[in-house]
């Protein structure tokens, strides 16, 4: 192991590679090339980033100072304190006629005992810049968790989706998506969806693991249920099987799999 990598080892590492995740804050090196672009200028380009994990938070990239274009950073007076990581300083990003206020932060001094040493790294608010890339592929929403799996499996199970007794979709050829910590989602071919009750929605969301999703609402007589289904028209290359399929929020509809009514999951979308 190189000295550089040895210095970046995660705290409390164990042979199985799992005990460190019990720490309130831990970091994991990633060999992926991480780049950020703001106002047409690449401000970060590194192959030595850290992925920081913190309880009850999404993963965050911490980027080596040496790989950040410091010419575009302007120190600000803002500070904050994290009981897990210490005292943070902030910088704005200024490129041409655009400024992202307090978009960058870092823990330069006074780390909390037991926390990883982040003094040589900075973090950037995801939405403060225009684009994030892992290698040459754009990533959306937040840093990808290397421990999260998204598996799309073609199936011959009979899936029927109903709302108020009205069939919204029925198929014997779904693609089931199993995503860590989320309910199973049933992606149904467009030709097996009852489009006469669906209406295009203006809602668009993004997922770091699947891509950009466009939504449908359901119109049942005088009742309209907003954003009840979604589709990934052009999913990321890792999960092509869901292209041109439609999935419904099982939290809001009655989903039958092989004739058995599935329990509605309790999630943020309930």
Q: What is the CATH number of the domain that holds 212?
A: 2.170.150.40
Q: Are 173 and 160 in contact (CB under 8 A)?
A: no
Domain assignment present for residue 95? The answer is yes
Residue 20 and residue 134 in one domain = yes
pLDDT for res 90: 98
Residue 9 and residue 135 in one domain = yes
Domain assignment present for residue 159? The answer is yes
pLDDT for res 92: 98
pLDDT for res 20: 53
| Helices and strands (DSSP H and E) totals, the chain | 1, 22
Q: How many residues does the chain have?
A: 270
Give per-residue pLDDT as tens, 120-148: 999 999 999 999 999 998 999 999 988 88
Domain assignment present for residue 235? The answer is yes
Domain assignment present for residue 25? The answer is yes
pLDDT for res 6: 32
Residue 31 and residue 129 in one domain = yes
Domain assignment present for residue 87? The answer is yes
Report the relative pairing of strands 41-46 and 34-38 from DSSP bridges.
antiparallel
Instruction: Domain count for the chain, please give it.
Output: 2
Q: What angle do CA 225, 226, 228 make, to 5 degrees?
A: 80
Q: Which of 93, 112, 139 is the last residue of a domain?
A: 139
pLDDT for res 153: 95
Burial 46-75 (b: 16+ CB within 10 A, else e): bebbbbbbbeeeebbbbbbeebbeeebbee
| pTM, to two decimals | 0.75
Q: What are the distances in angstroms from CA 155 to CA 179, 193, 270? A: 16, 16, 26
Q: What are the distances in angstroms from CA 185 to CA 211, 229, 231, 234? A: 15, 11, 12, 18
DSSP 91-125: EEEEETTEEEEEEEEEEEE-PPTTS---TTEEEE-
Residue 133 and residue 79 in one domain = yes
pLDDT for res 87: 93
pLDDT for res 194: 95
Q: Are 97 and 114 in contact (CB under 8 A)?
A: no
Residue 159 and residue 229 in one domain = yes
Helix (H, G, I), strand (E, B) or coil at 57: coil
The parent domain of residue 236 ranges over 150-261
Residue 135 and residue 182 in one domain = no
Residue 109 and residue 156 in one domain = no
Contacts of 165 (CB under 8 A, 6+ apart): none
Strand order in the sheet with 25-29: 25-29, 50-54, 60-64, 121-124, 98-109, 86-95, 73-82
* Cβ atoms within 10 Å of 241's Cβ, excluding its own: 14
pLDDT for res 101: 98
* pLDDT digit string (tens) for the chain, length 270 residues: 333 333 333 443 333 445 555 678 889 999 899 999 999 999 999 999 999 999 888 999 999 999 999 999 999 999 999 999 999 999 999 999 999 999 999 999 867 888 889 999 999 999 999 999 999 989 999 999 888 889 999 999 999 999 999 999 999 999 999 998 899 999 999 999 999 999 999 999 999 999 999 999 999 999 999 999 999 988 888 888 999 899 999 999 999 999 999 999 988 888
Q: What angle do CA 258, 259, 264 make, to 5 degrees?
A: 95
pLDDT for res 21: 58
Q: Which of 91, 107, 139 is the last residue of a domain?
A: 139
Domain assignment present for residue 145? The answer is no
Residue 55 CA, chain-centre distance (Å), reads 16
């Amino acid at each position: 192991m190189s000295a550089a990598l040895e210095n970046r080892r995660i705290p409390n590492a164990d042979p199985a590679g799992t005990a460190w995740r019990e720490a309130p804050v831990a970091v994991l090196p990633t060999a992926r090339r991480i780049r950020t672009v703001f106002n047409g200028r690449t401000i970060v380009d590194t192959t030595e980033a850290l992925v920081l994990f913190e309880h009850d938070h999404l993963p965050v990239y911490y980027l080596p100072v040496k790989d950040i274009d410091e010419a575009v950073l302007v120190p600000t007076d803002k500070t904050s304190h994290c009981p897990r990581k210490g005292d943070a300083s902030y910088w704005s990003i200024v490129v041409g006629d655009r400024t992202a206020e307090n978009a960058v932060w870092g823990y330069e001094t006074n780390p909390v005992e037991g926390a990883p040493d982040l003094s040589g790294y900075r973090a950037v608010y995801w939405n403060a810049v225009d684009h994030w890339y892992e290698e040459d592929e754009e990533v959306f929403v937040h840093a990808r968790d290397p421990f999260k799996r998204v598996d799309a499996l073609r199936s011959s199970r009979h899936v029927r989706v109903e709302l108020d007794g009205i069939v919204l979709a029925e198929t014997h050829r779904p693609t089931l998506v199993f995503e860590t910590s989320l309910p199973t989602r049933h992606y149904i071919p467009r030709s097996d969806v009852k489009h006469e009750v669906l209406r295009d929605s203006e809602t668009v969301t993004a997922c770091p693991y699947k891509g950009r999703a466009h939504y449908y609402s359901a119109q049942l007589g005088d009742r309209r249920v907003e954003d009840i289904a979604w589709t990934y028209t052009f999913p990321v290359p890792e999960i092509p099987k869901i292209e041109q399929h439609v999935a419904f929020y099982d939290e809001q509809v009655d989903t039958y799999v092989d004739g058995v009514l599935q329990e509605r999951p309790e999630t943020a979308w309930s």
